[in-house]
């Protein structure tokens, strides 16, 4: 039984449990957040303590939804589980929450005045993963990211109490850039799940066939294709960097870390000559620590606008 299968057995649609207290629900979300691997920690040392439970509640909602989509035994089961999760979301906004994630989320959405739209849009993307496995062009992929990635950045803006139309423009660029970086990091993992996020038109541009991916992944042209996609993600992350300065001082380090985290993944892909089929790039603990401390120094000691030089940390 996988860790998530254990969670599903205890808190899934067929399970029976007592509605936890709000404090117990937040504790559950924080435990789940701490136990789940991500490229960069959702909660860093510099995140204000009072925000820890709220970030954990939002993360747990996203993690559960993602797992319901990815770990289902079939696409049909995934759709059924996601429909159940959306029912829980709707009930939460009607002040009727029983699942530990939604008991915590109910308090968070009330305190930070979070609307249902970004939370619901994430489920649109997860359902799409059950029905759409390939993308014809970059425009289609960006449309997917508008639901799979951009809502996450917008939720963080709400937690920072700095949501505004101007901030959203930069946040969406960062969120989509991070999503693309993750796609190019996980090319083989996604393929093994039956999904190809590299647009078919890009395969054609480099003389490759999406229908013969395991074979063409060994070719130099495939590495050139990944290089092309990495450049796109890098441009989005750079264009979204100003979002950091929309956040209050207490959150700038964490947001800067996520931006630089995506750029570091892209740098790791460059370091292994764009071959993410043979080996999934990872960021070492030393690099993570270096990025975190450098972000803190630049923002809180030097007090400069966001524009950190991270290359010396990842070299």
Give 196-237 pLDDT, tens digit per residue: 999 999 999 999 999 889 999 999 999 999 999 999 999 999
Structural domains of the chain, ranges and CATH numbers in brackets: 1-131 (1.10.600.10), 133-304 (1.10.600.10)
Query: How many Å apart are CA 94 and CA 313, to the nearest integer?
Result: 47
pLDDT recorded at residue 110: 97
pLDDT at residue 4 in the model: 87
CB atoms within 10 A of CB 66: 17
pLDDT score, position 314: 38
What is the percent of the chain with per-residue pLDDT over 90, rounded to a whole number? 75
Rounded-to-integer distance, Cα 116 and Cα 106, Å: 11
The answer to whether 216 and 222 are in contact (CB under 8 A) is yes
Q: How far apart are CA 240 and CA 289, in angstroms?
A: 23
Residue 217 exposure: Cα atoms within 13 Å on the Cβ side = 16
Distance CA(74)–CA(161), nearest Å, equals: 39
75, two tokens: 């696409």
CA 268 to chain centre: 18
Note the pLDDT of residue 287: 72
Residue 194 φ/ψ region, left for φ over 0, alpha for ψ in the -120 to 50 degree band, beta for the rest: left
Q: How many helices (H) and strands (E) does the chain have?
A: 16, 0
CA distance 108 to 111: 5
Instruction: Give the pLDDT score at 312.
Output: 37
First to last CA, the chain: 39
Closest CA to 210 of 136, 265, 154, 152: 136
Maximum pairwise Cα distance, the chain: 57
Per-residue confidence (pLDDT) for residue 306, from 0 to 100: 52
Residues with pLDDT less than 50, the chain: 302, 307-315
Q: What is the pLDDT of residue 38?
A: 60
The pLDDT of residue 3: 85
Tokens 């001082």 — which residue?
249
Please report where in the chains the tokens 């993963």 appear, as a residue.
129
């Amino acid at each position: 039984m996988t860790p998530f299968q254990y969670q599903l057995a205890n808190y899934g649609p067929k399970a029976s449990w007592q509605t936890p207290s709000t404090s117990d629900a937040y504790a559950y979300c924080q435990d789940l957040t701490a136990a789940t691997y991500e490229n960069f920690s959702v909660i860093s040392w510099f995140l204000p303590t009072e925000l820890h439970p709220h970030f954990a509640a939002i993360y747990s909602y996203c993690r559960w939804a993602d797992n319901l989509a990815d770990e289902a035994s079939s696409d049909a089961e995934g759709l059924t589980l996601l429909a159940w999760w959306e029912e829980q979301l709707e009930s939460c906004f009607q002040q009727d929450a029983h699942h530990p994630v939604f008991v915590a989320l109910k308090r968070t959405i009330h305190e930070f005045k979070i609307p249902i739209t970004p939370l619901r849009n994430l489920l649109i993307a997860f359902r799409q993963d059950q029905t759409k496995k390939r993308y014809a062009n970059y425009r289609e992929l960006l449309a997917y990211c508008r639901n799979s990635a951009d809502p996450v950045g917008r939720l963080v803006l709400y937690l920072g109490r700095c949501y505004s139309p101007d901030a959203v423009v930069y946040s969406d660029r960062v969120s989509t850039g991070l999503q693309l970086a993750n796609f190019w990091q996980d090319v083989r993992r996604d393929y093994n799940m039956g999904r190809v996020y590299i647009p078919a038109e890009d395969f054609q541009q480099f003389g490759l066939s999406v229908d013969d991916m395991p074979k063409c992944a060994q070719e130099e042209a495939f590495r050139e294709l990944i290089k092309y996609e990495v450049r796109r993600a890098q441009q989005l992350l750079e264009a979204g960097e100003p979002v950091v300065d929309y956040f209050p001082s207490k959150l700038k380090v964490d947001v800067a870390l996520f931006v630089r985290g995506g750029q570091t993944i892209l740098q790791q892909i460059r370091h292994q000559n764009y071959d993410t089929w043979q080996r999934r790039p990872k960021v070492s603990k030393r690099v993570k620590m270096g990025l975190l401390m450098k972000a803190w120094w630049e923002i809180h000691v030097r007090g400069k606008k966001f524009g950190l030089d991270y290359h010396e940390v990842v070299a």
